[in-house]
């Protein structure tokens, strides 16, 4: 879905004869139509901790936006992760990820990306989103084989709000995660929607 060279748009990608192939897709803006994960962070904040947590997230969102657009994509996402998850019970996050988020994610699937994604026999999603937030939806509803996402720190069953090394999976971190997971094997198809997806897409056939 990257519209600039060297990659064609997903509409031009054939979906026939890919049963034995592997696809690796970004999530926001690629597998999903929406490019922003903020609505889903807001859902988690409200469902787990109520109005006060949602208000905290809303107050933090201007800072996240400034960092995202003027410093780095990673820095902006880290602010959203901290404001959403700090102090939450891991079990509560997992419950919302399984019971609430899937119906909203399902309604936002990108039809063309979904066409190509489901045509491949092995499916991997590589996302900046916290893995704990998206894995249940991706594996249980979409039949994804592997989810590589940002890992959040935990302590005594609660989220610290910080992210684990190597940090938020954007840019080079995405490519490194793909390399670690697949080794010398090149996935057949890479789907992304922004320039920071180019490093991992370039590793695909």
Can you name the residues that pair with 148 across neighbouring β-strands? Answer: 126
Let me know how long the chain is.
Answer: 205
Does this model's pTM top 0.85?
yes
Tokens coding 142: 């979409």
Q: What is the pLDDT of residues 112-139, one digit of tens each?
A: 999 999 999 999 999 999 999 999 999 9
Q: Say what percent of the chain tops pLDDT 70.
A: 97
- The superfamily in CATH containing domain 10-202 is HAD superfamily/HAD-like (3.40.50.1000)
CB 202 within 8 A of CB 179: no
Q: Coil, strand or helix: which one is 167? A: coil
User: 62-85: per-residue pLDDT in tens?
Assistant: 999 999 999 999 999 999 999 999
Q: Does the pLDDT of residue 143 top 90, yes or no? A: yes
């Amino acid at each position: 879905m990257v519209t600039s060279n060297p990659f064609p748009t997903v509409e031009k990608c054939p979906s026939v004869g890919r049963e034995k192939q592997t696809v690796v897709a970004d999530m926001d803006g690629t597998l999903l139509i929406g490019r922003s994960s903020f609505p889903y962070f807001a859902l988690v904040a409200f469902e787990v901790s109520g109005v006060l947590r949602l208000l905290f997230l809303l107050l933090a969102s201007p800072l996240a936006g400034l960092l995202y657009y003027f410093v780095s994509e990673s820095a902006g996402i880290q602010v959203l992760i901290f404001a959403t998850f700090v102090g939450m019970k891991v079990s509560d996050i997992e419950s919302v990820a399984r019971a609430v988020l899937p119906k909203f994610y399902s309604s936002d699937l990108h039809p063309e990306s979904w066409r190509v994604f489901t045509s491949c026999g092995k499916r991997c999603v590589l996302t900046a989103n916290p893995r704990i937030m998206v894995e249940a939806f991706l594996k249980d509803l979409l039949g994804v084989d592997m989810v590589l996402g940002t890992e959040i720190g935990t302590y005594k069953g609660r989220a610290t709000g910080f992210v684990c090394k190597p940090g938020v999976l954007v840019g080079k971190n995405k490519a490194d995660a793909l390399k670690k997971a697949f080794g010398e094997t090149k996935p057949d198809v890479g789907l992304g929607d922004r320039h920071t997806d180019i490093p991992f897409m370039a590793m695909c056939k």
